[in-house]
Structure 1
Amino acid sequence: ETEVSEKTSNVLLESASFHFLSIRRTMKALNLPSEASARFSRGVHPELVPLAAGRAAAMMQEFAGATVCQGIVDCYPLPYRPQVVELRMAEVRRLLGLEMPLSEAVRILEALEFQVEKVNADTLRATVPPHRLDIQEGPADLIEDLARIYGYDRLPETLLAEPLPRQLGNRALELEERVRDLLAACGLQEAYTYSLTIPEREEPLGLPRGEHVKLLNPISSDRVVMRRHLLPSLLEVTAENLKHTEDVRLFEIGFVYLLQGDQPLPDEPRHLSIVLTGRRQPEFWADGGKAAGMLDFFDLKGIIESLVQGLHLQEVAYRRSSAPWLHPGQAAEVQVNGEPVGSFGVLHPRLLDRKTGYDLGSRVVLAAELDLDALLRRVPARFKYRPFSYAPPVLQDIAIIVDGDLEAEKVVKEIWAAGGELLRDVRLFDVYRGEGIPPGKKSLAYALTYQADDRTLTDKEVSKAHRKIEERLRSVLKASIRGEERQ
C-alpha cells in the first residue's frame, strides 16, 4: 500500500543513482532479480538524477496542483568528469573509407546531443552527453555513430590495399579428414576415447610388453599411463554399446604414445582402429522373414579396400597375419609397398570372454588396427584419372581351377599382366569347393571387362585378349580352365 493518502500535504521526492556493477554482482550472487535491479544493473548516469527528480515534481504540479519548493539537497561526493573525445577526420577516412566533411561530422554529433568544438581543420573535440554510457572506446564509438547516421548504404566499396597471403594447406589434416569421410561413407561411426589407461587393459591383446608413459600425478586410478594401442579402448566402448544394440560399427583415429630408448619424449604416431559386429543389414519386410547374414572377415576387408582405393594407394597387398589378438586363419596383414601398416580380421575368441578379454559375448567381432601415419605417408600427391569411354564394354567370365591354398590376389595379378590395355576391370564373383573339383583344389570365377577408348571392340580382339589371359594362367599358375573338358 502507498503511504500517500488524502490527508498527505507534504511529499519528499528522492532520486538516486546506484553503482550498476555492484547492483549486478549482488543480484547474481544472491539470486534476487527484481525490476529495480534489472533497471539499475544496466547503468544510469548520475547526471540524470536531478533531471528525473525535476520531471517528477513537474508532473505532480501539473496533475495534482502541488506547490514545488525551491532548491534541492544534492549528495554527490564524487562527480563524474565529463568524457571528452578528440576525433581526427583522418581516422574517419581510414575506418570508413570516405571523405566526410568536418562540417557534416559536427552536424551529426550535435544532432546526437554531443557538445562539439573545432580544434583545427582536421580535428574536433566532442563532449559525450551523460546518457551515452555506451561510449567507451573513444574515437571508434564516435565513428560508429557517424557511419550509422550518415548511412551504411553510402559507404564506398573498397578493396584491400595488400594482396591476400598465399594459402597454405595442412596435408596431414586434410588426409586425416579424407579417411574420416571414407569410413563414414562405409557406414561407420567415429568414437573418441581417453588417451589415458592402465597397462592391464592392453594385456589381453597378447602383444609384447613395452614401457608406458606414466603420469606423475594421475587424477584417477584407471588413468595412470598413456595408451600404446587404440583397440582396447574401442573394444570397451563396443562392449558398452552392445548392451543397447546388436549392431556396432565404430572407428577411431587417435595418437598412441611409444617410448623410444633414451628419448625424453615419446613418439606419437596416429593410429586407426575399427570394430564391427552384428548383421550385414537391418531386417527388411521384402526379404520374406529371412534374417540378414552376419558381418564377416570379407566385410571388414571390403572397408579396408575402400579406404586404400579412396586414398589412391599403390602396391597394396594382403598377407596372412599372426597377430595374437586375431583368430588364426581369419586374419590378414595390410602391406603398402611391401611394408606392413597394420592387421585386421576376426577377433580372437579369448578376447570375447569377460575374464580374459573385454566382455563382448559369444558373437563374431571384427577388428583392425592400422598405423595411419605409415599409411598416409604413401598417399601420392598426384594420381591419374582415366576418362570415360564412349565405346560399349564387353563382359566375359573366366573360371579356373587352382591349388586350394593359392591366394586370389596372385590370380588377379596375372590376369592384369596378360590383359593389356583392353582389360578395364577384374572382379572375383565366385569361390567353389565341392563336387566336380579335385581334392585340394578350388574354383575361382572372375568377371572381366574389356573396353577401348576410341572404338567398339570386335569379337576377334576380345577373343585374342582372353586367350592370352588363359595361356598365362596355365603357364604361370598351372591352372586349368573350367569348361575346356566339355569342349
Structure 2
Amino acid sequence: RVERILSSETLVIADEEGAVAIAGVMGGADSEVLEVTTSILLEAASFNPASIHYTGRTLFLPSEACMRFERGIRPELTLPALKRATQLIMQLAGGEAAKGVIDVYPGKLDHEPILLSTSKVNRLLGVEFSLNQIVAALVSLGFDCKPNDSASAVWVTAPYWRSDIHQAVDLVEEVARVIGYDKIPMTMLSEPLPRQNPEPIVSLKQEVRRLLTGYGFQEVITYSLTGENMLNRLLLEPHPLKPEPIRLTNPMTAD
C-alpha cells in the first residue's frame, strides 16, 4: 500500500467520508473488491483528458485507466459501458442488479452541426465530387447529414465517438479517405516554383560545417531536449542577450 499526497488540483471520487479514488487514475484501498464483497457500486465517467494526464504525471502513477482517459473518452460512451459492465458481472458472477441509473451531467453540450459545401470539398481536394457522393461517404462513417437551404451544401453532425471532428476541413479529410485518395488526380503545378534565396546565417553554418569536417572534426547532434544543469554547464560566460530556455510543462524526467 502506497500513500500519496494530493493537491487541490487533483480530481477525486469521494463520498461523505472522503476520497475513495483518484478520478481516472487509480482507485483507493477503501473501494477494493475483496472475496467477501457483496455490494458493488458501478461508476462510469468521462474526465478532462488534460487533467487526468497532469494528475498521472504529477503523482508518478501510470495506470491503464490513466492511459485511456488522457486520450479522451466521450461522455456518450459512459452509459453503454455501464450497462455492458453490469451485464458481464451478472453473466459471470451472478447476483442481482439494481434498477435505474443516476446520471450527473452538468453543462451538457449538444453537438454543433457543421456546414459543408461541395465547393469547399472540391476546392480542397481538386476534384469534382457531387453532393450525393459526399453525403454517402459521410453517412457510411456514422455522420448525420441534413439538407441545407442550398442544393450544394449539407449540415453534418459527427457521431459521438468522433471527438476529432471540429470543422469543415475535418469532414473533407473523411470524404477523401472513404472515396479514396487514388481518386484524386495528380497534376503538376501550373507555374515554376519561385527561387528561394537562402538566409545568410544558413549558408554560413553550412560553410563552417564543411570546413570543420574537412579538418577532421566530428559533428555530434545531441537530443533536442536538455536538462537545465547541462545548459548551465555549457554557458561558461554570461550571454549578453540572457536567453531563457523553453521549459516543458510536464517533463517525464529531470533530464
Letter in 2 for 1:127: T
Query: What is the alpha-carbon root mean square deviation over aligned residues?
Result: 3.3
Query: What's the counterpart of residue 2 of structure 1?
Result: 33
The yes-or-no answer on 1:103 pairing with 2:147 is: no
1:114 to 127, 139, 143: 143
Q: Give the C-alpha shift of residue 178 in structure 1.
A: 5.1
SS in 2 for 1:189: coil
Aligned-partner Cα distance in 2 for 1:4–1:121: 64
Higher relative contact order structure (alpha carbons within 8 Å, sequence separation ≥ 6) = 2
Query: What's the counterpart of residue 30 of structure 1?
Result: 59
Letter in 2 for 1:2: V
SS in 2 for 1:142: helix
1:252-271 alignment, distance < 5 Å:
none
Aligned-partner Cα distance in 2 for 1:190–1:60: 64
Conserved? CA contact 1:17–1:44, under 8 Å:
yes
Change over 3 Å in CA distance of 1:163–1:15 after alignment to 2 = same
Q: Give the C-alpha shift of residue 161 in structure 1.
A: 4.3
SS in 1 for 2:75: coil
Aligned-partner Cα distance in 2 for 1:224–1:28: 34
Unaligned runs of 5+ in 2: 1-31, 220-234, 241-255
Q: Give the C-alpha shift of residue 68 in structure 1.
A: 4.3
1:275-294 alignment, distance < 5 Å:
none
Conserved? CA contact 1:97–1:158, under 8 Å:
no
Q: Give the C-alpha shift of residue 115 in structure 1.
A: 1.1
The yes-or-no answer on 1:58 pairing with 2:87 is: yes
Letter in 2 for 1:156: P
Deviation string 1:268-304 (CA, Å, 9 cap, x unpaired) is xxxxxxxxxxxxxxxxxxxxxxxxxxxxxxxxxxxxx
Letter in 1 for 2:42: L
Deviation string 1:458-484 (CA, Å, 9 cap, x unpaired) is xxxxxxxxxxxxxxxxxxxxxxxxxxx
Aligned-partner Cα distance in 1 for 2:42–2:51: 24
Q: Give the C-alpha shift of residue 109 in structure 1.
A: 1.2
Query: What's the counterpart of residue 82 of structure 1?
Result: 111
The yes-or-no answer on 1:147 pairing with 2:176 is: yes
The yes-or-no answer on 1:129 pairing with 2:159 is: yes
Identity of aligned residues (%): 38
Deviation string 1:222-243 (CA, Å, 9 cap, x unpaired) is 6599xxxxxxxxxxxxxxxxxx
Aligned-partner Cα distance in 2 for 1:221–1:63: 67
1:189 to 204, 207, 217: 217
Q: Give the C-alpha shift of residue 58 in structure 1.
A: 2.8
Change over 3 Å in CA distance of 1:94–1:2 after alignment to 2 = same
SS in 2 for 1:93: helix
Q: Give the C-alpha shift of residue 39 in structure 1.
A: 1.4
Unaligned runs of 5+ in 1: 192-219, 226-487
Aligned-partner Cα distance in 2 for 1:56–1:165: 61
TM-score by length of 1: 0.35
Query: What's the counterpart of residue 316 of structure 1?
Result: none
Q: Give the C-alpha shift of residue 189 in structure 1.
A: 3.2
Aligned-partner Cα distance in 1 for 2:239–2:132: 71
Conserved? CA contact 1:114–1:127, under 8 Å:
yes
2:185 to 153, 156, 159: 156
Letter in 1 for 2:85: A
Q: Give the C-alpha shift of residue 31 in structure 1.
A: 2.2
Aligned-partner Cα distance in 1 for 2:194–2:95: 72
Aligned-partner Cα distance in 2 for 1:64–1:184: 71
Letter in 1 for 2:159: P
Change over 3 Å in CA distance of 1:98–1:224 after alignment to 2 = closer
Aligned-partner Cα distance in 2 for 1:224–1:131: 51
In the comparison of the two structures, how many residue pairs are matched?
A: 193
Aligned-partner Cα distance in 2 for 1:85–1:35: 34
The yes-or-no answer on 1:48 pairing with 2:77 is: yes
Give the number of the structure whose residues are more often strand, by fraction. 1
1:282-361 alignment, distance < 5 Å:
none
